[in-house]
């Protein structure tokens, strides 16, 4: 029988769900360098896949425990944008079906922009329900960033098309009559919280990228509203816009504003 070509072997290893054990054993006997290179690549991929599967199972442990307690609809929540000097604070809530799996999903800050955007679309498609809420700078200045964050997250819960019986949150508690658990670094411990962090991050980044088109000198598409050196210099030269948080100390000082009482996050 004519031996398989390198291209045919590549298709067997990488373009099918899983090659048969007998096929792998046979390929290990093939002395061609190209075949052995493909096998080494395949085995490396399998190790990585197993690591991602183990991470996924670890990040499902809070949800699994709650499913055992007969909580069918568990919402994970997270927020993005507490620290920037401009733009909204954004919160998201996500409820998944029990069998949801997305290998590699973790804290949005650990994912590339391309991977976040890819995952965001998958999450929206497969979630039983999701909600993304934004609170603008004007409200942040009125109530302070902490209260604005609480408002964004509360709105995200109440806007869900399915009301959850339990909430998993990243280091925060909400004034809602729903059982909840607050986890330190929750976006690295819960798949639902990680998903909400991805939705919130992608939504806020797109908002700031659109804002950049209107106000390019602040370079919002790069700094996302954070107080980088270039952003601070732009405030000095061009002043501030309505998207700037006037209650945040750097904006207050650079814009020469006089506000009797500054409401600001404990970061400043």
Q: How confident is the model at residue 222 (pLDDT cuts 50, 70, 90)?
A: very high
Cβ atoms within 10 Å, residue 78: 31
Q: What is the pLDDT of residues 28-62, one digit of tens each?
A: 888 888 888 888 888 888 778 888 888 889 999 99
Any known ligand binding at 79? yes
CA 195 vs CA 33, 51, 232: distances in Å: 42, 19, 32
Average pLDDT over residues 59-68: 96
In the predicted structure, residue 238 carries a pLDDT above the cut 70: yes
Any known ligand binding at 170? yes
Token digits of residue 212: 């950049």
Q: Give me the CATH code for the 61-201 domain, please.
A: 3.30.420.10
Please tell me which residue, 41 or 85, carries the higher pLDDT value: 85
Q: What is the pLDDT of residues 113-139, one digit of tens each?
A: 999 999 999 999 999 999 999 999 999
Token digits of residue 80: 């993005």
Q: Which helix (H) or strand (E) holds 192?
A: helix 191-214
Token digits of residue 30: 């093939």
Query: Cβ neighbours of residue 265 under 8 Å, at least 6 residues apart?
Result: 82, 83, 144, 145, 146, 248
Domain parsing of the chain, residue ranges? 6-56, 61-201
């Amino acid at each position: 029988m004519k031996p398989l070509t390198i291209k045919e072997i590549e298709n067997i290893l990488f373009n099918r769900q899983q090659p048969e054990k007998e096929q792998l054993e046979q390929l290990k006997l093939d002395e061609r360098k190209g075949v052995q290179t493909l096998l080494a690549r395949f085995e490396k991929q399998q190790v990585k896949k197993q690591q991602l599967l183990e991470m996924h199972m670890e990040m499902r442990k809070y949800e699994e425990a709650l499913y055992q307690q007969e909580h069918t609809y568990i919402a994970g929540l997270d927020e993005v944008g507490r620290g920037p000097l401009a733009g909204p604070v954004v919160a998201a809530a996500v409820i998944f079906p029990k069998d949801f799996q997305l290998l590699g999903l973790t804290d949005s800050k650990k994912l590339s922009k391309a991977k976040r955007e890819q995952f965001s679309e998958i999450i929206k498609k497969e979630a039983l329900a999701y909600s993304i809420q934004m609170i603008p700078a004007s409200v942040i200045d009125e109530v302070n960033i902490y209260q604005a964050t609480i408002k964004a997250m509360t709105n995200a819960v109440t806007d869900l098309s399915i009301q959850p019986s339990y909430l998993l949150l990243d280091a925060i508690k909400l004034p809602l009559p729903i059982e909840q658990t607050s986890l330190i670094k929750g976006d690295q411990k819960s798949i639902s919280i990680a998903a909400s962090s991805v939705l919130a991050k992608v939504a806020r980044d797109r908002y700031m990228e659109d804002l950049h088109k209107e106000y390019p000198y602040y370079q919002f598409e790069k700094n996302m509203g954070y107080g980088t050196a270039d952003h601070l210099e732009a405030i000095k030269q061009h002043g501030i816009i309505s998207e700037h948080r006037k209650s945040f100390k750097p904006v207050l000082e650079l814009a020469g504003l006089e506000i009797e009482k500054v409401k600001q996050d404990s970061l400043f």
